[in-house]
Structure 1
């Protein structure tokens, strides 16, 4: 388990990366970094793309939110167990400086939301040779 979300939460308390989710509708999200992008994958079974919102706030905060509605109940139904999450969910991730937040793309297929945040090319500082005199 990565310490990055915990460290970010300590350094930037306003941008909690964990524990901002309703316990009843926890959206589990993977975050990986490739050479080209930061890729987020969220398991959102049963949700339609219209029920999910992906935003970039305050420049570099990726926010994924939505709501899983409760099933309609019939007076004659007898529930034996309710384990599937329902309710609102909200997750925020503080993106690194090397991201192109104006080029974020999101797709949803078979209940899996994939958010791709392209990375900027980081230029290596050029070394300047200093002539030694004396």
Structure 2
């Protein structure tokens, strides 16, 4: 919903609604749907929609992508490069079944994410490497030789 304000020609932003104490229908609906649900409604539900946090650092020779994804194995990841777009994704399914004499309990879980990054033209895509250790996925995106930062030097005046 939109919150539009009518601005009179004199430029003031005074509310000219004579029913200011009574909320309009759109304000009332906005209030209902934008309100946070009590934790009792949300605490037992996992939507499976969460994106891992990412740090991207630039050095003189490369870009480094660090993604926090604890609890996975390196075989859970899929890294794709297509037309300078790096895609990082994972999909994990878990099932657990417990059978006792009087009952059977089945639990299952599913989680997935996909992050995509458009790489600059300066990345040497033939030498991209990745490793996963201690819950952190590190991706090294080396720069092309011509894009590497050269050290400062003095120029002699003749």
Alpha-carbon displacement from aligned partner over 1:56-104 (angstroms, at most 9, x marks no partner): 112x111100123346365559xxxxxxx95111000001111001110
The aligned counterpart of 2:93 is 69
> What does 1:1-134 correspond to in 2, within 5 Å?
24-58=49-83, 60-70=84-94, 72=96, 74=98, 86-120=110-144, 121-122=146-147
CA 1:23–1:49: 2 relative to 1, 3 Å: same
Aligned-pair CA distance for 1:36: 0.8
The aligned counterpart of 2:14 is none
TM-score computed with the length of structure 2 as normaliser? 0.52
Contact 2:87 2:114 in 1 (8 A): yes
- Which structure carries more relative contact order (alpha carbon 8 Å, separation 6+)? 1
- Return structure 1 stretches of 4+ with deviation > 4 angstroms: 73-77
Q: Structure 2: 5+ residue runs without aligned partners?
A: 1-46, 99-103, 149-158
**Within 2, Cα distance between the matches of 1:31 and 1:23?**
24
**Within 2, Cα distance between the matches of 1:90 and 1:25?**
10
**Within 2, Cα distance between the matches of 1:92 and 1:42?**
12
**Within 2, Cα distance between the matches of 1:122 and 1:45?**
33
Mark the structure with the bigger radius of gyration: 2
Aligned length: 96
Is the partner of 2:126 in helix, strand or coil? Answer: helix
